[in-house]
Chain A
Amino acid sequence: MGRGSEAWNDMATFIVAFAVALLMGAIVIAATGSSPVDAYRAALRAAVGSGYRFLNTLCNTTVLIMTGMACSVAFNSGIQNIGAEGQLYLGAFAAAMAGLMKGIPAAAHVPLTLAAAACAGAAWALLPGILRVSRGTNEVVVTLMMNYIAVLLCSYFVNYPFRNAAATWPETAMIEASARLPYLHPLSRFNGSFFIALACVVAIVFINRRTKTGYEWRMVGLNERACTVAGIVPGKVMLGAMIVSGAIAGLAGGVEVIGVRHRFMDAFSPGYGMTGVLIALVAKNNPVAVALVAFIFSLVKTGAGGMELAADVPAELSEVLLTLIVFMLAAQRSLRGTLRAARTQQHAGR
């Protein structure tokens, strides 16, 4: 039972689950009177139908990779950070604030905004992390509540003190040109942030596989008590993971601002943070899998948008399909787990 072959196995089952979900979606679409063929063709065209459309899909993938990474780093260490949404918002807002500062040279401005975004996200993750580590407070509840608080807080900022009076939607002013990541294609909003996301994946893979911190994260996530007995302090390790997780989520918001929208807009996230949780769960916290799963999710979501426009099928169907994939994978994994447990049990003497 090598870890390599298990990865191939997981990928194969994911593809099967995806296919079954598509099939179920087709049935639902047909049941509501539309043509599944038309719908899926429209979806495919919207997602990858041409160069710029594909770039748009990649652009949407960026945020998802990063929120997925954020969640997977935390989950891997045993701390259930579902606050990516809130950390994302604060990171985005911090990036916008940094981006609005005048007189900063271009070479420094982008790193400044990214640093601001990461710090804001990390700071928002700090409280739930400390509460969990020092008092055992349930981080699921705390991070979730802080999501709502974060969105409301940013909404306040962008409706009152920092509102751009000239715009119809509550949003800040456009950030300085020096802070922006330029669009790399005239017809798409694809920009350099995609490569930042990939760099993030590479960095986490490196940390996980080659550093002491990665080892500690993994071991604490698998068995906290054994780590305590071995001399590791799980609290410190989990807090570190939480901070990194928040930073990445904040960064996700930051790149949305400096790369795509060039300003902070009220309620800009259609649930990127929550989708990140799903991605991490599907990918079993494996960074490379997170990137791949994020791409698939982005395909589905972008395609769904096109499907709605062209074939009049509501885009929310994509949410339903994606969660169906989670269920199927869960079922399949537990079946496989039961088989393996039965084989292991033969030697289970204590």
Chain B
Amino acid sequence: MGWAVDVADLLGATFRLAAPVVLAAIGGLVSFHAGIMNVAMEGFMLISAFTAVLVSYYAGAWAGVLAAVAVCLVFSALYALFVVDLQSDGFAIGFALNILATGLTIYLVRILGTDIFNSPQIQPLPHLQIDALAASPILNSILNGHSVTVYITPVLVWAMSAVLYRTPFGAHLRAAGEAPAALAASGVSPRRVKYAASLICGALCGVAGAHLSLGYLTQFIRDMTAGRGFMALAAILVGRGRPAATALVSLLFAASEATSMKIQAYAAPQFALMLPYVVTIIAVTFLSGKPKKNVSSDTAAQAGE
């Protein structure tokens, strides 16, 4: 059953490719519920990918991940400062951050020397080999041998779902997005909640970016993110802010990416490469919507604080 092997390969590749998008999407989800539509995830992931490789070169993979997360936290704090406190246009700031990330990473690569970013000395993230799975060749190629980030991703999705809908923080988070005035009147600072949301988004994008550059390939190349940050955004819109649905849609995008790699041999490569983007457009067109929120009949101006 040759095709079964191919499908298994494809599924395995899907999980591998999905991790960064799912992680970023879950992070973006938190921010989305708090009322901040984060378009800078692309930039966060790029900076984190860069940092992860750089630090891993000198100090190993885990240091790389930690550094990547730390840098992303700094940038997402900056983003929050502008969007929450200074009430700047989130789109403008996010977009500028994306361009800053592109320019800054390339600049630093050239200053520090391209060898570092392509060197065998870069330590990749460890992969897990589960012996039980090795028995079945099909299950093996789907589920075994992935980088650790792939395995923690579903755990994080489940955890995020619990946090959002069953903890006080989750209730505050969603209230900060839907009715910040109500939250303030209840004694919780929407500002703090929005900052926290931004930082969580940054941290998750940090892990996502680290996976991108340390998970399988160990290198950093320009434009490594290739629109994944926006696919994460699309996943959030289509998933209507629910973690499980968002993760599923991200998987769909990753599947299209995996498929595009497979079919590149059969026609001009450009068309294969287009596939993920086309799928994203189709998904967003036919499946997206806003989560069921109250169409408030109050005319009160909802002050953000």
What 0/1 pattern do residues 317 to 350 of A give for CB contact below 8 A with B?
1111011101100110111011000000000001
What 0/1 pattern do residues 197 to 221 of A give for CB contact below 8 A with B?
0000000000000000000000000
B104 & A320 in contact (Cβ 8 Å cutoff): yes
Bound Cα distance from A32 to B104, whole angstroms: 14
A320 & B237 in contact (Cβ 8 Å cutoff): no
* Closest 8 A/B residue pairs (Cβ): A319-B103, A334-B86, A156-B270, A323-B100, A316-B107, A326-B96, A330-B88, A314-B110
A317 & B96 in contact (Cβ 8 Å cutoff): no
Residues of A within 8 A of B280 (CB): 141, 145
Q: Which of A6-14, A94-102, A130-138, A257-265 contacts B (4 or more CB under 8 A)?
A: A130-138
Q: Is B230 an interface residue (CB 8 A)?
A: yes
A350 & B301 in contact (Cβ 8 Å cutoff): yes
Q: How many residues of B contact A (CB 8 A)?
A: 41
Bound Cα distance from A281 to B99, whole angstroms: 13
Bound Cα distance from A174 to B59, whole angstroms: 52
A141 & B237 in contact (Cβ 8 Å cutoff): yes
The chain B residue with its CB closest to the CB of A152 is B270
Residues of B within 8 A of A32 (CB): 111
The answer to whether A316 and B106 touch (CB under 8 A), given A32-B111, A80-B91, A338-B87, is yes
Bound Cα distance from A330 to B277, whole angstroms: 31
Q: Is A146 an interface residue (CB 8 A)?
A: yes
Bound Cα distance from A321 to B221, whole angstroms: 22
B99 & A319 in contact (Cβ 8 Å cutoff): yes
Residues of A within 8 A of B (CB): 32, 80, 82, 131, 135, 137-138, 140-142, 144-146, 148-149, 152-153, 155-156, 159-160, 271, 274-275, 277-278, 281, 314, 316-320, 322-324, 326-327, 330-331, 333-335, 337-338, 350
A281 & B92 in contact (Cβ 8 Å cutoff): yes
A317 & B107 in contact (Cβ 8 Å cutoff): yes
Residues of A within 8 A of B273 (CB): 152
Residues of A within 8 A of B96 (CB): 278, 281, 323, 326-327, 330
Q: Is B121 an interface residue (CB 8 A)?
A: no
What 0/1 pattern do residues 252 to 288 of B give for CB contact below 8 A with A?
0000000000000000101101100110110011001
Q: Is the interface of B mostly helix, strand, loop or mixed?
A: helix
Q: Is B154 an interface residue (CB 8 A)?
A: no
Q: Is the interface of A mostly helix, strand, loop or mixed?
A: helix
B285 & A137 in contact (Cβ 8 Å cutoff): yes
The answer to whether A149 and B274 touch (CB under 8 A), given A314-B107, A331-B82, A338-B87, is yes
Q: Is B234 an interface residue (CB 8 A)?
A: yes
The answer to whether A135 and B285 touch (CB under 8 A), given A316-B110, A319-B102, A327-B82, is yes
Known interface pairs A138-B234, A152-B274; 18 further A-B residue pairs with C-beta atoms within 8 A, sorted by A's residue number = A138-B284, A141-B234, A141-B284, A142-B281, A142-B285, A144-B230, A159-B268, A316-B110, A319-B99, A319-B103, A319-B107, A320-B104, A322-B103, A323-B99, A330-B92, A334-B82, A334-B86, A337-B87
Residues of A within 8 A of B93 (CB): 326-327, 330
The chain B residue with its CB closest to the CB of A33 is B111
Bound Cα distance from A137 to B284, whole angstroms: 7
Partner of B82, one of A271, A277, A330: A330
A145 & B89 in contact (Cβ 8 Å cutoff): no
B92 & A149 in contact (Cβ 8 Å cutoff): no
The chain A residue with its CB closest to the CB of B78 is A327
B268 & A316 in contact (Cβ 8 Å cutoff): no
Q: Is B299 an interface residue (CB 8 A)?
A: yes
Bound Cα distance from A319 to B230, whole angstroms: 21
A277 & B95 in contact (Cβ 8 Å cutoff): yes
A137 & B268 in contact (Cβ 8 Å cutoff): no
B103 & A317 in contact (Cβ 8 Å cutoff): yes
Q: Is B19 an interface residue (CB 8 A)?
A: no
Bound Cα distance from A320 to B105, whole angstroms: 10
Bound Cα distance from A334 to B85, whole angstroms: 9
Bound Cα distance from A137 to B288, whole angstroms: 7
Residues of B within 8 A of A144 (CB): 227, 230
Q: Is B39 an interface residue (CB 8 A)?
A: yes
Q: Is B23 an interface residue (CB 8 A)?
A: no
The answer to whether A153 and B102 touch (CB under 8 A), given A141-B230, A333-B88, is no
Q: Is B212 an interface residue (CB 8 A)?
A: no
13 contacts between A and B (CB under 8 A): A138-B284, A144-B230, A148-B226, A148-B277, A152-B271, A153-B270, A316-B110, A319-B104, A323-B99, A323-B100, A324-B100, A330-B96, A338-B87
Bound Cα distance from A320 to B106, whole angstroms: 10
Bound Cα distance from A320 to B227, whole angstroms: 20
Bound Cα distance from A179 to B93, whole angstroms: 40
Residues of B within 8 A of A141 (CB): 230, 233-234, 237, 280-281, 284
CB distance from B252 to the nearest CB of A (A): 14
Partner of B88, one of A142, A148, A331: A331
Q: Is B65 an interface residue (CB 8 A)?
A: no
Within residues 51 to 75 of chain B, which ones have a CB less than 8 A from any CB in chain A? none
